[in-house]
Amino acid sequence: MERMITFYSLLYFSKSEKIPNLSRLLHWNKDSIYVNMASNLSNQLHKLGYKHILITNKKKILESYNYKFPVIELNFKKRIKKETRFYSAHFKIDIFKYFSKQQNKSCLIDLDIFIINKFNNYFKNLANNYNLLYSLENGADYGKKYYSEINKIFNIIINKKFKKPKWYGGEFILGNKLFFKKLYKEIDILYPKYIKNINHFFHIGDETLLNCAIQKLLLKNNFFFKDIKGKKIIYRHWSIIKNSKFKLEYALKNIFLHAPGDKFFISRLNFNYLNFNLIKHKYSNHHNSIIRAVLLFLINKMKKLFI
């Protein structure tokens, strides 16, 4: 697998962008947060024997952070207005094009992901032999109550509705060059309609484009991949929203943990000195402390109502 797959992540620098999943109090320091997350992910993957490369639009900015991981700079195509939500995520589409020209299989992985269990033979076999995507769970992710909103997107962009529409996460996408060539080509066709109707969608960004392209390709019977939902490979976990002890326990059984609400926490850890058990222990403590803080906040709010 080491020789067959290269992992990549995107760090697109933008002064004006606000990060929805990063506290407003931390916006001034968001670049260092992302660089630290990139360092942690690269260190973890390199220690496991796999190549990880950071893709950016401004390599020069990284020089002030004394980074020690592989970086390449791409000339990204101007795609969307800077004030658009999830502005930088739209540039993942350019990375799909880049992947379509690589000989090795490529895996695009978000920076707010960290590894909490070793790469087992089951995952290695899947990664070596299939293209991999991850459909999201119900609950905190896009589940049944979002079916109508998801179908609204599909109906507008690809003129199709589904009884139980699936929604695939953009945080982990693994495939060969043909897989990414088809994705990029389809997204390029759908992009004008996406831009024209962007204000009508409940979710915008690379995931919306990715999912429309996937469904369009599947309708053509011209796209092949494995859905790794429930395979204990990757899980998107929110520390506060609609969470539970059971979900945390399940999350910690996966290889990759995507924690979009915990960027600051991830950036503060030094993964060089932590084994998997210690990482899981620290994240569990972090998770529980957040829940306690939220409960105390709600209790105090309730007290004020009755005083």
Q: Which residue has the tokens 């990880």?
A: 52
The yes-or-no verdict on residue 24 having pLDDT over 50 is no
Cβ burial, residue 247 (10 Å; 0-12/13-18/19+)? middle
Residue numbers of the domain that contains 18: 5-306
Give the span between the Cα atoms of 96 and 183, in whole angstroms: 7
Each residue's pLDDT tens digit, 74-105: 999 877 888 888 889 999 999 999 999 999 99
Instruction: Pick the more confident residue, 302 or 54.
Output: 54
Which H/E stretch holds residue 6?
Answer: strand 5-11
Q: Do 4 and 105 contact (CB within 8 A), yes or no? A: yes
pLDDT of residue 296: 57
Each residue's pLDDT tens digit, 170-208: 999 999 999 999 999 999 999 999 999 999 998 899 999
Give the span between the Cα atoms of 305 and 176, in whole angstroms: 57
In this prediction, residue 307 has a pLDDT band, given cuts at 50, 70 and 90, of: very low
pLDDT of residue 142: 52
In this prediction, residue 267 has a pLDDT band, given cuts at 50, 70 and 90, of: very high
Give the span between the Cα atoms of 134 and 108, in whole angstroms: 12
pLDDT of residue 306: 47
Q: Do 216 and 187 contact (CB within 8 A), yes or no? A: no
Distance linking the first and last C-alpha atoms of the chain = 62
Each residue's pLDDT tens digit, 115-174: 999 999 999 999 999 999 999 865 445 556 678 899 999 999 999 999 889 999 999 999
Q: What is the mean pLDDT of residues 54-80?
A: 91
Listed residue (127, 116, 136) closest to 41, CA to CA: 116
As given in the structure block, the two tokens for residue 123 are: 């995952």
pLDDT of residue 272: 85
Residue 165, domain CATH = 3.90.550
Q: What is the CA radius of gyration of the chain?
A: 19
Helices (H), the chain: 30-47, 59-62, 92-99, 121-129, 147-158, 177-196, 206-219, 245-251, 263-268, 276-306
Which H/E stretch holds residue 108?
Answer: strand 105-109
The yes-or-no verdict on residue 60 having pLDDT over 90 is yes
pTM of the model: 0.90
Q: What residue type is assigned to position 150 of the chain?
A: I
Each residue's pLDDT tens digit, 203-252: 899 999 999 999 999 999 989 999 999 999 999 998 766 556 778 999 99
Q: How many domains does the chain have?
A: 1
Q: What is the mean pLDDT of residues 59-72?
A: 91
Instruction: Pick the more confident residue, 247 or 70.
Output: 70
